[in-house]
Amino acid sequence: MADLLSVAKRAGVSRATAARAFSSPDLVRPATREKIFNAAQELAFRPNKVAQQLRSQATQMIGVMVPSLDNPVFAEQLQAMEVAARDSGYSLIVTTSEYSPSREGNIVEEMLRQRVDGLVLTVADASNSDVLDKLRMENIPCLLVYNPPGTSGFTSIGVDNLAAGADATRHLIALGHERIGMIAGPLLQSDRAQQRYEGYCQAMKSAGFLPHQLVEMARHTQADLASLKPALQGFQSFSAVICTNDLLAISLIGELQRAGFAVPGDLSVMGFDGIALGQYLYPSLCTIEQPRADIGRTAVHTLLAMIRGESCTTAPLPHALRKGESTGIPASRKSNTGTTQRSTL
């Protein structure tokens, strides 16, 4: 591939002049400039970013690490990040951690070697993370997304998960529900799931109800009805549940319907995240919407500000209750006639 030197030769100038023609066109006489551009054209010259990066000690690249792209929450955030970054002349190196600490470590190390100008990470647990401990020693611009801010010492972009969890709960309470449960992924939950649960507990107590133990599913994004059965039977059975993410909620609704339950007739189901698809289902998913695109954009803009050396303030982004057909008045409040047929479990 043609380099600046060959362009310069062909144009009959020195390499320095050729370089100037691109970086500061006004510093070179128009006629000369023309010759250089022509030569560049003829040789199909393409500036070598790697050389520029080495020389300028800046890569214009952002390292991004998300848990998984199989979850639309992260994919939708990433989509917005890519557009925002490109608009500012930056590229994204994208990696997935699967929440694995060792992968997290390798990924970040790799990105540091690549000399990315900054990092945008979503870690499993920000308050207890090897990779963040390591990053604290470096002084590279670094930002968390979705992880609750505070304990980690890193600025974080996301919603107030505790308030959001409480809002979800209050929505159900306002509908008349009292026996409300919460469903999450496997044992080592993400830090944000914990906060959402905390918000649920607070809202329940404030309303004078007893918060229930978290019901844990075997998988992060797929509900299995068996684990939930006990909580759906008997006198004290739930009339509504909140899932810690939308995929869990959607799959739960599917399982329930397949088993003969009506949603929200027999059980109201709320999600959390607000992935786009939820609106198009029937029943549409009632959920707490995180502004995924806005989070992605804000993350990029905030990081770029940090890279420029500006001090940046960050407040939690607003979440919103997205009403949907998957929640309704509890059966006990309705006239007890005409309820849908429920299969025996």
Partner DNA sequence: TTGTACGCGTTATCAA
Partner DNA sequence: TTGATAACGCGTACAA
* Footprint on residues 84-123 left by DNA (CB under 7 A): none
The option from its own copies, DNA, none interacting with 178 (CB < 5 to 8 A, set by class) reads none
> Is 114 or 128 the residue whose CB approaches its own copies more closely?
114
H helices of 13-129, in order, are 15-23, 30-43, 49-56, 72-87, 101-113
Shortest Å, Cβ 191 to its own copies: 22
Residues within the interface to its own copies (CB under 8 A) = 46-51, 53-54, 59, 61, 68-70, 72, 75-76, 78-79, 82-83, 86, 91-96, 107, 109-110, 112-115, 222-223, 247, 250-251, 253-258, 276-277, 280-282, 284
Q: Which of these ranges, 19-27, 99-107, 122-130, 132-140, lies near DNA under the rule CB under 7 A?
A: 19-27
Contact (Cβ atoms closer than 8 angstroms) between residue 286 and residue 323: yes
What SS3 string covers 274-293? CCHHHHHCCCCCEEEECCHH
C-alpha 24: how far from chain center: 40
Q: Which of these ranges, 50-58, 88-96, 144-152, 302-310, lies near DNA under the rule CB under 7 A?
A: 50-58
Q: How many CB atoms lie within 10 A of CB 160?
A: 18
Shortest Å, Cβ 95 to DNA: 22
Q: What is the DSSP letter of 148?
A: -
Number of H helices, E strands in the chain: 12, 11
Interacting residue with DNA among 48, 79, 202, 237 (CB under 7 A): 48
> Is 47 or 230 the residue whose CB approaches its own copies more closely?
47
Interacting residue with DNA among 34, 38, 42, 47 (CB under 7 A): 47
Question: What binding mask, one character per residue, do residues 55-84 give for DNA by CB under 7 A, x or -?
Answer: xxx---------------------------
* 54 is a contact residue toward DNA (CB under 7 A): yes
> Is 42 or 70 the residue whose CB approaches DNA more closely?
42
Residue 145 phi, psi dihedral angles, 5° rounding: -125, 135
As a whole number of angstroms, the distance between CA 313 and CA 45 comes to 42
Contact (Cβ atoms closer than 8 angstroms) between residue 96 and residue 308: no
* 276 is a contact residue toward DNA (CB under 7 A): no
Which two structure tokens, joined as six digits, stand for 161?
A: 């998960």
Which two structure tokens, joined as six digits, stand for 273?
A: 């995240």
Which two structure tokens, joined as six digits, stand for 11?
A: 């144009």
Residues near DNA (CB under 7 A) are 1, 3-5, 13-17, 19-20, 22-24, 27-29, 31-33, 45-48, 51-52, 54-57
